[in-house]
Amino acid sequence: MTSIDLPYTKRTLANGLDVIVHEDHHVPIVAVNIWYHVGSKNERPGRTGFAHLFEHLMFEGSEHHNTGYFPPLQQAGAQLNGSTNTDRTNYWEVVPTSAVDRALWMESDRMGYLLPAVTRERFETQRDVVLNERRQNYENRPYGMAIMAITGALFPPDHPYSWMTIGSADDIRAMQLEDVQAFFRTYYHPSNASLVLAGDIETPRAFDLAERYFGDLPPGTRPLPVIATASLGHEHRLVLEDRVELPRLYMTWLSPAMFATDDAELDLVADLLANGKTSRLYRTLVYERRIALDVSAHQHSRELGSFFLLAATAAPGQSLADIAAEIDAELDRLSAMGPTDGEMERGLAQAEAHFMYRLQTVGGFGGKSDQLNAYNVLRGTPGFFSADLDRYRRATHDSVRSAAERFLRRDARVVLSVIPRGQPALALAGSDPVSVS
Amino acid sequence: MTVVDRSHLPDVGPDPAFTFPEILRHTLANGLDVRTVEHASIPVVTIVLQVEGGSGADTSDKEGLAAIVADMVDEGTGALSAIDVSDALARIGGDYDVDVSPDVTVFSLTTLTRFADRGAALLADMTTRPSMRDTDFTRVRQLRLDRLKQLKDLPTAVAERAFLRLLYAQHPYGHLPIGSDAALRQISLNDTSALHSATFQPSRATLVVAGALPHKDLLGIAAGAFGEWTNAASSSTPVQRASAIEPSEVAPPRLSIVPREGAAQSELRIGHLSARRNTADYPALLVMNSLLGGQFVSRINLKLREEKAYTYGARTGFDWRRGLSPFVLQASVHTASTADAIADALGEIEGLRGSRPPTRDELVLAKASLTRGYPRNFETAQQVARSVAQLALYDLPDTYFAEFVPKVNAVGADDVMKAATRYLDTAKLSTVIVGDRSAIADSLGTLGLGMPSVLPPEL
């Protein structure tokens, strides 16, 4: 077994900012990566989509560089971006080694001095840009609204995972500039943030620079953790009409939170069910019986609780009922007999290789800097890389079987049929119409 | 603690030195062009096999054939079924990918160094000796027919198909690799085997091996797996070479619409045929594109997104191929703003050609964004292997990477203006809209591009 790890050094500044450094001198670039521990889970009904809209404002300028975040960094040869999900908001730059100072100056300026740069005009423009993002990625995309119908049924209305990070269009339209200030003061400060510098930089210099640019920012108050629970008492069958040619079936279950017991097992279950031609459902539905065009399964691991999502698109003329019956039969088999030895070997080989591949890039989404922040923010320590892999190494035939049996139950799930408009008969029997906007 | 001076941004130091990967070329006894690159970050090897052909080898009655050939490669070889191949790839944690582009088909396999020999042998079996069973062929073709049906609802795919067809008409670059329903139904297993035999020849391929091993070991991996591959008798069968065929001179309509009633946004493509990838003006075109629409801080994105909020983002680029390639602007814009967005986009392109030449700051920014971060393109073995394969595709020298930065830095404002005048022509730009026709028809009249021609969702 290869031993692989992601080494780092961590210090916490006096103002509460976690700083993590990882050296990799192969290419003369440095990744700057900041996580703020805030996402759509911190929103409340009626204000959905705010965390993400706020992320857009972070690229419009800050007090001491009040003309847009991109130009000085692109001029330095940087690549940069940010993203918001349910649990966190991340921002990153990958810069040539010669431009680290500039990137840290920019990041620290928006952490400390954003508000003077947020004007009504910028706010309203970005609100419209976000509405366009929503139209492009959800409303104008086939099956794009399915995930909204699913999360709305999986979680109770006051659970923050019941809405999407993009938010509802009405909520986005109703947002006010005044909301920005309170949000910034609550969530955007050193004690709710974590900074990683990874790449072509010596550790002592990295800490010096972090102290220099971020050390004098006021700490702020660490926000209270969000607590929310969800449970499903029975099977919910829903149907959504969409502009699509072929019906698609989604089955979704509530599942253990990221890094919790059984989270890795359900990852392995997703793989053996639907990853590649060898997987059970691909083989049955697509390869042998040819009743589906595609099938996918994924354990969506989240901080407050996860969900396991299985989806299959019907081949022309094939019924969702037939597909559902095959899936149920396969889940029954897995719950009763567990994985084969071959499936366990394959799952482990793939996990080992994919952890190795994760060490190839220092920056960007999913690069080493992003992973160190994920572990630090969601696990409390950046040093979880090899322990994370061990979760997969420790999985056994019994633990995988048992996870499938306990979580992928027929009597506690959301089953959504997405069907072509005007053809309700194509949905699973007993499905209630759901509307999302 | 030193107090940070926030009155001005820190300067950026001199660009750090970077040694571009050394490429060693080898020719195996069977004629296969092998290139090796040592890349020593983590114990991973990437093998890229690039085969001459691609969707440009599809004849007009068999559009989609090259993609089916590529699909059949992981459908079984020797005693291995399609399922066995998938299992074998999974057991080495292999990251397998195939990309059918207009001039070539590229297979890529990344695996752990300790599995490199096994991975290479498997890739060689798959690509050079696919089983080509009838039952697999029928399934693969049906999946592609069904996929085509789904694409009719995907505005980006509909726009892409319509745009290529308008620009290239019946030229072999005028279709997406997936082809058309009518053509896919014509394609037989015999056609598939014949195109495979004609194109998958050592003399028509380039193999790149990059990873954490010395050159001689990387070469050993290549020779061990691909050394026995021979040029089949049918290698003399002519294969259509798209880049050798001139596109017709007929100008496409200025404005076209594929109706999508009730669409939340209009999907736009605006462009025309423009330049070849291996033109000496390539660096000037890159700089021109960068400041016009190639990055976030470009004229078109700043205008359409940051100033007008018509869209989540707008960008321009060249869809490069060996032959004449399109310049294209793409954006998905709010339905109500469709005509305004088109007018602004056309205005920005026209402005760069005359009334608003690049400013000094724009030029500095465009060049810096292309050059200063250039080394990050060489971080992974896969990035390196794919970049080296591109050299073979466009017949570029091994010194290309080292020369890139100085060549871009040598581009001046005049070069950008010359490139804009020579390679962009507002009078020839063709606009395709996939959107709500009844909602936007009236406003389109204000563009002065005439009545839009109406296209079906498939062409």
Return the HEC string of B175-190.
CCCCCCHHHHHHCCHH
- State which residue of chain B sits closest to A216, comparing Cα positions: B3
Contact in structure between A415 and A428 (CB atoms under 8 Å): yes
The alpha carbon of residue B198 is apart from the nearest alpha carbon of chain A, in Å, by 28
Contact in structure between A41 and A303 (CB atoms under 8 Å): yes
User: Looking at chain A from residue 216 to 275, which residues have their Cβ under 8 Å from any Cβ of chain B?
Assistant: 216, 243-246
How confident is the model over B3-27, as pLDDT tens digits? Answer: 799 999 999 999 999 998 899 999 9
- Which CATH superfamily, name and number, covers A9-214? Metalloenzyme, LuxS/M16 peptidase-like (3.30.830.10)
pLDDT value, residue B177: 98
Domain boundaries defined on chain A: 9-214, 236-433
CB pairs under 8 A between A and B: 222
Tell me the C-alpha to C-alpha distance, in Å, between residue A322 and each of A290, A430, B411: 11, 15, 62
Residues near B412 by beta carbon (within 8 Å), at least 6 away in sequence: B363
Chain B residues in contact with A276 by the CB 8 A cut-off are: 86, 89-90
H and E: helices and strands count for chain B: 16, 14
Q: Do A135 and B13 touch (CB under 8 A)?
A: no
For residue A297, is pLDDT > 70?
A: yes
Q: Do B10 and A105 touch (CB under 8 A)?
A: yes
Q: What is the arithmetic mean of pLDDT over B32-37? A: 98
* Residue B127's pLDDT band (cuts 50, 70, 90): very high
Chain A residues in contact with B13 by the CB 8 A cut-off are: 97-99
pLDDT value, residue B1: 53
Q: Do A96 and B41 touch (CB under 8 A)?
A: no
Tell me the C-alpha to C-alpha distance, in Å, between residue A435 and each of A148, A239, A413: 10, 9, 19
- Which CATH superfamily, name and number, covers B255-454? Metalloenzyme, LuxS/M16 peptidase-like (3.30.830.10)
pLDDT value, residue A221: 95
How confident is the model over B308-327, as pLDDT tens digits? Answer: 999 999 999 999 999 999 99
Going by C-alpha positions, the residue among B212, B262, B175 that lies closest to residue B38 is B212
Chain A residues in contact with B88 by the CB 8 A cut-off are: none
Q: What is the arithmetic mean of pLDDT over A415-420? A: 98
How confident is the model over A122-178, as pLDDT tens digits? Answer: 999 999 999 999 999 999 999 999 999 999 999 999 999 999 999 999 999 999 999
Asked if A94 is an interface residue toward chain B (Cβ–Cβ < 8 A), one would say yes
Rounded CA separation B41/B31 (Å): 31
Asked if A7 is an interface residue toward chain B (Cβ–Cβ < 8 A), one would say no
- Which CATH superfamily, name and number, covers A236-433? Metalloenzyme, LuxS/M16 peptidase-like (3.30.830.10)
For residue B431, is pLDDT > 70?
A: yes
Cβ-nearest to A356 among B42, B143, B305: B42
Picking from B1, B2, B5, B6 by the largest number of A CB atoms within 10 A of its own CB, the best residue to mutate is B6
Contact in structure between A343 and A404 (CB atoms under 8 Å): no
Rounded CA separation A282/A294 (Å): 7
Residues near B120 by beta carbon (within 8 Å), at least 6 away in sequence: B47, B109, B209, B221, B222, B224, B225, B226
Domain boundaries defined on chain B: 24-236, 255-454
How confident is the model over B256-296, as pLDDT tens digits? Answer: 999 999 999 999 999 999 999 999 999 999 999 999 999 99
Domain B24-236 has CATH 3.50.50.60: no
* H-type alpha helices, B227-319: 282-289, 299-301
Query: Residue-wise over A201-238: b if at least 16 C-beta within 10 A, else e?
Result: beeeebbebbbbbbbbbeebeeeeebeeeeebeeebbb
pLDDT value, residue A402: 98
Contact in structure between B192 and B71 (CB atoms under 8 Å): no
Same fold across A9-214 and A236-433 = yes
* Residue B459's pLDDT band (cuts 50, 70, 90): low
- State which residue of chain A sits closest to B336, comparing Cα positions: A132
Chain A residues in contact with B365 by the CB 8 A cut-off are: 71, 74-75
